Amino acid sequence: MVFDLICPNKHTFEAWFKDSKAFDGLRRKGQVECPTCGDSKVEKALMAPNISTSKKQAQAAKESAMAAQATQMLAKMQKHVEDNCDYVGPAFAEEARKIHYGETEKRDIYGEATKTEATELSEEGIDFTAIPWTQPTDS
């Protein structure tokens, strides 16, 4: 079972023991050490509610880091598109169709399309990728 433990320096950590008795035995022999400072005078942490809150906070921090990473990737993709493709604005569907049917010069474009237009394009077998576009913020 997993125990929430705390050392004299208030580092909290988790450790696995077969049971409470096993933990007590190892602790008496000084074999349970704080991974942060190496102190072996660890105790079972009594502030369980606080610990679960900090776990939730850690989880939230992890999730927001992942979200930031996703945003960064998206920004990169957006930059690539902006650098390499012609912006055609709301005429995207029309232009994509013209390119597909060879009515205009073949090139990479990007722009806005309504949901209906997007559906029509895919029904006609026209390749395009929908990416969530972040608008530049004013801040």
Cα gap 43→38, rounded to integer Å: 13
Cβ 132 to Zn ion shortest distance, Å: 44
Cα gap 34→41, rounded to integer Å: 8
β-strand partners of 89? 111
Pick 38 or 132: Cβ nearer Zn ion: 38
Pick 36 or 59: Cβ nearer Zn ion: 36
Cβ 2 to Zn ion shortest distance, Å: 18
Residue 84: count of CB within 10 angstroms of its CB: 10
Binding mask 18-37 for Zn ion (x = CB under 5 A): ----------------x-xx
Q: Are 48 and 4 in contact (CB under 8 A)?
A: yes
Asked if residue 9 binds Zn ion (CB under 5 A), the reply is yes
Pick 30 or 90: Cβ nearer Zn ion: 30
Binding mask 34-63 for Zn ion (x = CB under 5 A): x-xx-x------------------------
Cβ 7 to Zn ion shortest distance, Å: 3
Cα angle 36, 64, 34 (rounded to 5 degrees) comes to 10
Cα gap 117→105, rounded to integer Å: 21
Binding site for Zn ion (CB under 5 A): 7, 9, 11, 34, 36-37, 39
